[in-house]
Every structure is written in structure tokens, then in C-alpha cells.
């Protein structure tokens, strides 16, 4: 048993040594090393390779000696008139050629991607905006601006534009981040809605005893959550949702009245609005980008298209008839 344990431990240490050696070897070479070997192989002389690389003959000679010393093998057979590849050198040359070709292909593939008007766009928006406001707008943008590819990231969290979690953000807020560049593209009004099948009052003054959809802790401290806490009795709250989308579906199902953005309530045929929108709950809708991304043609193109379409949607946003 002891012998087996010792044998296993010996094998483990040997494996760790091999892994350590492989990790070290993997970091020995750089593209600059491969580029030097490739230049010498293609020109056959140090002077020709030095001119190609725009470095001095002594510097190139010293760099080659350093590479061979680190690798522990000769890469070239020296003759008075030329340098000829060894087997190890040929392996390096082949790898350098593959990498050079791959790099060139990558440059061709991505070159100009950030300077042209076309390309991918990552747009983030809250769930209710994505569900009830954006579908028709994005369909029209995709039809008119065929070169843009839009990836919609639905999130109620504030995704970081600086870390490229998204390129453009639509946010309903009265205090957008000062580090972002953007424009106000509308005003989102809110009102009380109810399912047509639910017996409801005609005005907001007679809500006592009427079932209501409220919000859980995720939205309780928001403007809508505060309004409900001040105006609706706790005993009338029959359901709580943690998102506007969840609240809209609860109201639609007839659980109770609910406070919804007008673009949500006005988009659901089964709902009726009770009273006028509540001015105290109106919030700006912002189209935001990171300053570095704002300069890119495709970002400007997408922002302009979104802003134009959102301006057309103003009656839906504000709850106008």
C-alpha cells in the first residue's frame, strides 16, 4: 500500500513538473520572435532581414542569438553567404507564416468595422420597453437600415456601457449618468389601468376596496411604488410584481387595477385607463451611449434612427388619445 502511495505521488509530481515546463515554454516565444525568424528565412541574410524589419544588423544578430539561447536549439545553419533553416527553424517558419496569414485575414475581416455605417449594435432596454415599445420600432429600423444588425439585451439592471456590455441604452430616468452622452427622446407618462372585465371606478377618487396590483421590494422605493404606498390601502393589494412587465400581465389577467407606463397600458387592448396620466410620475426617456462609442458612424446612425422613431411614438409614451 505504501509503495502504491509513493508511486502515485511520484507520478503527480512528474505531471506537475511537465505542466510547469509546458507553461514556461508556452511563454518563451512571441510574435516578434517569429517575425524575426520569418524575415531571416525569407531573405536568407541578416542584412536583408534587418532592412525589412527596420532594425540594425547587430541588433538583429543579437536578437537571433537570444531566441536560440532561450529555445536551446539552433534555428539556422550559418554559412559565409547565407542563413539556412534547421529543422527547428523550419517549424518556426511554418508557424510564423500561418500566424501572419491569420493576422492578415483578421485585419481584412474586421478592418473598417468601426469606421463604416454598417455593423452590429448592442442595444439594452428594460423588459417593458423591449416588449411593448421597441418591436415595431426595431422592425422598421431593420427594414430601412439593412446594414445594421441589432442585438437587443433585455435587462432591468443598468448595464455598463463603459465595459461594452451594450453600445446603446434606453433608460427611463430623471438622472442619467454624467459620464454618458445622450439625448432625451421622450417623456414616459404613467396611469392606472384595469382589465375591461374588472368592475372599476371611473375616477381615481373612489379606489377604496378595489383590488390592486402592487410592487415588491425591487420597485417599492420607485416612483410608482411610492405612489401606491401613499394612495392604496395595504388591504387592497392582492398581488405584487417585481417588474413592470409582471405587473402588466397581472393587471391584464384581472387580478386588480395597476399603475403602468402609458405605452404599456395603451398597447394592451384588454385594458382601460382610469383617469388621466399622473404628472408626478412622468419621467424622461433617454438614449445613452458611451462617449467613445458615440463617434462611430454605425452608432450615430442607429441613435438617429431610434430617436426619430421614438419621437413618432410620443403620443403612446405620454398617453395621448
Q: Where are the domains of the chain?
A: 14-110, 119-188+283-318, 190-281
5-32 pLDDT, tens digit each: 445 555 545 544 443 444 444 457 888 9
> Is the pLDDT at 4 greater than 80, yes or no?
no
Q: For residue 104, what pLDDT is reported? A: 76
43-82 pLDDT, tens digit each: 999 988 998 898 999 999 999 999 999 999 999 999 888 8
**Of residues 231, 282, 280, 228, the one with CA closest to residue 251:** 228
What pTM was computed for the model?
0.65
Q: For residue 61, what pLDDT is reported? A: 93
Percent residues over pLDDT 70 in the chain: 84
| Mean pLDDT score of the chain | 85
CATH 1.20.1250.20 fits 14-110, yes or no: no
Can you tell me whether residue 136 is helix, strand or coil? helix
14-110 and 190-281 have identical folds: no
Q: For residue 179, what pLDDT is reported? A: 85
Is residue 116 very low, low, confident or very high in pLDDT (cuts 50, 70, 90)? confident
| Strands in 206-276 per DSSP E | 212-215, 237-241, 257-261, 271-274
Q: For residue 5, what pLDDT is reported? A: 42
Average pLDDT over residues 254-277: 93
Report yes or no: 206 and 257 within 8 Å, Cβ to Cβ. Answer: no
Report yes or no: 127 and 245 within 8 Å, Cβ to Cβ. Answer: yes
Q: Which CATH architecture fits 119-188+283-318?
A: 3-Layer(aba) Sandwich (3.40)
CATH top class, domain 190-281: alpha beta
Q: For residue 204, what pLDDT is reported? A: 62
152-205 pLDDT, tens digit each: 998 877 766 666 678 899 999 998 988 889 999 999 999 999 998 887 766 666
Report yes or no: 245 and 133 within 8 Å, Cβ to Cβ. Answer: no
Average pLDDT over residues 103-108: 74
Which residues have C-beta within 8 Å of that of residue 208, sequence separation ≥ 6? 233, 236
CB neighbourhood size of 313 (10 A): 17
Q: For residue 25, what pLDDT is reported? A: 44
Report yes or no: 246 and 214 within 8 Å, Cβ to Cβ. Answer: no
Amino acid at each position: 500500500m505504501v509503495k502504491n502511495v509513493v508511486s502515485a505521488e511520484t507520478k503527480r509530481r512528474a505531471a506537475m513538473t511537465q505542466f510547469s515546463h509546458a507553461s514556461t515554454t508556452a511563454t518563451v516565444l512571441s510574435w516578434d520572435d517569429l517575425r524575426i525568424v520569418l524575415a531571416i528565412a525569407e531573405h536568407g541574410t541578416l542584412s536583408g532581414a534587418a532592412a525589412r524589419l527596420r532594425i540594425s544588423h547587430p541588433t538583429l544578430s543579437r536578437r537571433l542569438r537570444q531566441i536560440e539561447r532561450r529555445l536551446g536549439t539552433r534555428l539556422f545553419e550559418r554559412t559565409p553567404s547565407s542563413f539556412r533553416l534547421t529543422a527547428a527553424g523550419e517549424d518556426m517558419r511554418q508557424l510564423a507564416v500561418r500566424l501572419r496569414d491569420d493576422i492578415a485575414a483578421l485585419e481584412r475581416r474586421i478592418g473598417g468595422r468601426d469606421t463604416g455605417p454598417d455593423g452590429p449594435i448592442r442595444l439594452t432596454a428594460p423588459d417593458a420597453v423591449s416588449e411593448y415599445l421597441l418591436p415595431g420600432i426595431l422592425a422598421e429600423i431593420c427594414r430601412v437600415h439593412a446594414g445594421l444588425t441589432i442585438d437587443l439585451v433585455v435587462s432591468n439592471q443598468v448595464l455598463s456601457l463603459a465595459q461594452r456590455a451594450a453600445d446603446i441604452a434606453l433608460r427611463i430616468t430623471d438622472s442619467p449618468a454624467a459620464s454618458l452622452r445622450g439625448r432625451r427622446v421622450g417623456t414616459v407618462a404613467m396611469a392606472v389601468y384595469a382589465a375591461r372585465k374588472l368592475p372599476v371606478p371611473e375616477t381615481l377618487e373612489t379606489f377604496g376596496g378595489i383590488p390592486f396590483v402592487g410592487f415588491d421590494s425591487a420597485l417599492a422605493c420607485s416612483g410608482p411604488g411610492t405612489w401606491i404606498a401613499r394612495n392604496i390601502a395595504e388591504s387592497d393589494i392582492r398581488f405584487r410584481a417585481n417588474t413592470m412587465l409582471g405587473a402588466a400581465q397581472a393587471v391584464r389577467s384581472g387580478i386588480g387595477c395597476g399603475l403602468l407606463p402609458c405605452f404599456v397600458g395603451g398597447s394592451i387592448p384588454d385594458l382601460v385607463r382610469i383617469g388621466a396620466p399622473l404628472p408626478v410620475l412622468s419621467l424622461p426617456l433617454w438614449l445613452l451611449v458611451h462617449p467613445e462609442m458615440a463617434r462611430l458612424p454605425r452608432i450615430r446612425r442607429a441613435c438617429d434612427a431610434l430617436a426619430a422613431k421614438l419621437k413618432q411614438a410620443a403620443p403612446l409614451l405620454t398617453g395621448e388619445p
